[in-house]
Amino acid sequence: MKWGVVTFPGSLDDRDALYGLGTVLGQQAVSLWHKDRDLQGVEAVVLPGGFSYGDYLRCGAIARLSPIMQSVVDFADAGGPVLGMCNGFQILCESGLLPGALVRNRSLSFVCEWTRVRVETTRTRFTAGCNVGEILRIPIKHGEGCYVADQATLATLEDKGRVVFRYVNEAGEATEAANPNGALRNIAGVTNAKGNVVGLMPHPEHAVEALLGSEDGRKLFLSVLAR
Amino acid sequence: MLARIYVTPKKAILDPQGKAIAHSLHALNYAEVADVRMGKYLEVRLHGLSRAQAEQRIDEMCRRLLANLVIEDFRFELVEE
């Protein structure tokens, strides 16, 4: 399958995503440049982590206006699978493809640590190969990952099963202690109504090899192939 | 014409920076500080617009880019230079 990984000025994890998809998972993975409009016929798009445009104004606010993002929005509207990780999640929220927003961690600290997230739904392109309730060990590294949305949006997300991942402890419970950034309802990732766009703060591309400490991140990418 | 734009976190949104600043002010013995909210201040210089046009354009700019209405409120004032 052909994947595209977008590089914005300030992207950090684009190469990790290309390595994970290409070298580790044996996919055809191409780099997409923020100034281009051509998605090169890819069948899935990944928006990587980093600090696109220096996080100026708000994280993801400037990146959403780049030429490639116009094409990514069209691709997503047409049902194409799009995964945003960390800064990619912030960009998806800013671009309106996903509801809510990501604000400064409640602790005010940048957090870089392993987390456990519980799969809340398998009705997305990126969790179709998981089981509901399954716990994945995936790292985070961010300063602005606290997911917020108004009460009506949260209710819709819960009712429609659009919360994809929640931070949990070892026992699989979404406790306050297991919440690394203060995200409302321990939300680590959400999806759109169609389930083809998924955003999450953790970095599955950093968890694709035992050498890195976990292979759980593979499941998100392999889910797309499962269909 | 100059637009002075204030973008602030919505009341319902937790503002950990504002909280930390309030704590620091308390540490400096400003016991009267009840609450601090921290936002952004922007100055946008405009040319060739009437006041009414400027009002409409700045409002649009705030909604489309300068503020994220999911988490922020905005207000602005126009100043003749």
- CATH class, range A2-226: alpha beta
- In terms of Cα–Cα distance, which of A95, A31, A88 is closest to A61? A95
Per-residue confidence (pLDDT) for residue B14, from 0 to 100: 84
Condensed to tens digits (0 to 9), the pLDDT of residues A46-70 reads: 999 999 999 999 999 999 999 999 9
Residue A188 has pLDDT above 90, yes or no: yes
DSSP H or E stretch at residue A101? strand A101-103
ipTM exceeding the 0.90 mark: no
Residue A84 has pLDDT above 90, yes or no: yes
State the alpha helices, DSSP H only, in A38-138. 67-77, 87-94
CATH number of residue B55's parent domain: 3.30.1280.10
Residues in B closer than 8 angstroms to A146, CB to CB, are 14
Condensed to tens digits (0 to 9), the pLDDT of residues B8-65 reads: 999 888 899 999 999 999 999 999 999 999 999 999 999 999 999 999 999 999 999 9
Residue B29's Cβ-count burial label (10 Å; 0-12, 13-18, 19+) is: exposed
Q: Find how far residue B2's CA is from the centre of its chain.
A: 15
Of B12, B20, B66, the CB nearest to A108: B20
Domain ranges of chain A: 2-226
Q: Which amino acid is residue B4, in one-letter code?
A: R
Q: Which amino acid is residue A68, in one-letter code?
A: I
Backbone phi and psi for residue A210, each to the nearest 5 degrees, phi listed first: -55, -35
State the average pLDDT over residues A98-127: 97
Closest-CA residue of A relative to B21 is A108
A93 catalytic, yes or no? no
Residue A227 has pLDDT above 90, yes or no: no
**What is the count of structural domains for chain B?**
1
Closest-CA residue of A relative to B20 is A108
A86 catalytic, yes or no? yes
Residue A157 has pLDDT above 70, yes or no: yes
Q: What is the DSSP string of A155-182?
A: HHHHHTT-EEEEEE-TTS---STT-SS-
Q: Which amino acid is residue A224, in one-letter code?
A: V
CA A2 – CA A160 distance, rounded (Å): 30
Residue B81 has pLDDT above 90, yes or no: no
- The percent helix, strand, coil of chain A (3-state, each to 5) is 30, 25, 45
Q: Is the dihedral of CA A173, A179, A182, A186 positive or negative?
A: negative
R_g of chain A computed on alpha carbons: 16
